[in-house]
């Protein structure tokens, strides 16, 4: 009986210490405008928000690197819909959220170059499950200019069917985006 209690206490302590050994975690968000197509210039741009998990190693308290894309949120992102024959065209303002677990991988160093201290680049790609489309991007910290963390990428929605009045909706080619990841309070 006594050894069972001791074993249980040891397991509980190990479970409490293990997360501390992994380092700290931060959630950072990129929020960028996504404009409609040139055919509909009067429509204001919508917003795409991406939530990333950044972690550090226990030995380096200040160097957080991206590890996971956890959420994609669209707010009134304009899409052009061609609909079926005889139905004409329409516009859809896409508002939806996707909870994801997209692993972010370290980008390879250019050939023949040594990595520079403090610089890094990570990449991610996601294919939407409920419609035809993809999101890809890079998070990096450059050596030149202001040494601020930045992100950029491409959103390409090719075929989204929302309802009978909004079918075959798309971004009409890839939409480039870029922004600065900021901590979420």
pLDDT digits (tens, 9 = 90+) for 70-80: 999 999 999 99
Q: How many domains does the chain have?
A: 1
Query: What pLDDT, on a 0 to 100 scale, did the predictor assign at position 70?
Result: 96
The average pLDDT across 72-94 equals 88
Query: What pLDDT, on a 0 to 100 scale, did the predictor assign at position 164?
Result: 84
- What is the rounded distance in angstroms from the CA atom of residue 4 to the CA atom of residue 180? 51
Residue 27 located in a structural domain: yes
Query: What pLDDT, on a 0 to 100 scale, did the predictor assign at position 127?
Result: 97
Residue 86 located in a structural domain: yes
Range of the domain at 172: 23-183
CB atoms within 10 A of CB 179: 18
Residue 5 located in a structural domain: no
The average pLDDT across 53-64 equals 77
- Reported confidence tier of residue 170, pLDDT bands at 50, 70, 90: very high
Residue 17 located in a structural domain: no
pTM as predicted: 0.79
Query: What pLDDT, on a 0 to 100 scale, did the predictor assign at position 7?
Result: 40
Residue 120 located in a structural domain: yes
| DSSP label of 10 | H
| pLDDT beyond 70 at 123 | yes
- Judge contact between 78 and 43, C-beta under 8 A: yes
């Amino acid at each position: 009986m006594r050894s069972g209690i001791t074993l249980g206490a040891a397991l509980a302590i190990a479970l409490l210490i293990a997360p501390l050994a992994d380092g700290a975690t931060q959630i950072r968000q990129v929020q960028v405008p996504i404009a409609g197509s040139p055919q509909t210039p009067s429509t204001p741009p919508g917003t795409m928000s991406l939530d990333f998990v950044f972690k550090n190693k226990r030995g380096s308290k200040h160097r957080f690197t991206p590890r996971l894309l956890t959420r994609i949120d669209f707010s009134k992102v304009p899409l052009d819909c061609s609909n079926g024959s005889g139905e004409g065209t329409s516009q859809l303002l896409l508002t939806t959220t996707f909870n994801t677990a997209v692993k972010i991988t370290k980008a390879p160093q250019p050939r023949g170059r040594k990595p520079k201290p403090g610089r890094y680049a990570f990449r991610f790609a996601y294919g939407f499950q409920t419609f035809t489309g993809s999101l890809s991007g890079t998070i990096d910290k450059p050596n030149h200019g202001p040494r601020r963390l930045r992100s950029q990428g491409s959103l390409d929605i090719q075929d989204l069917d929302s309802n009978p009045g909004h079918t075959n909706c798309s971004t009409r080619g890839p939409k480039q985006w870029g922004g600065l990841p900021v901590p979420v309070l």
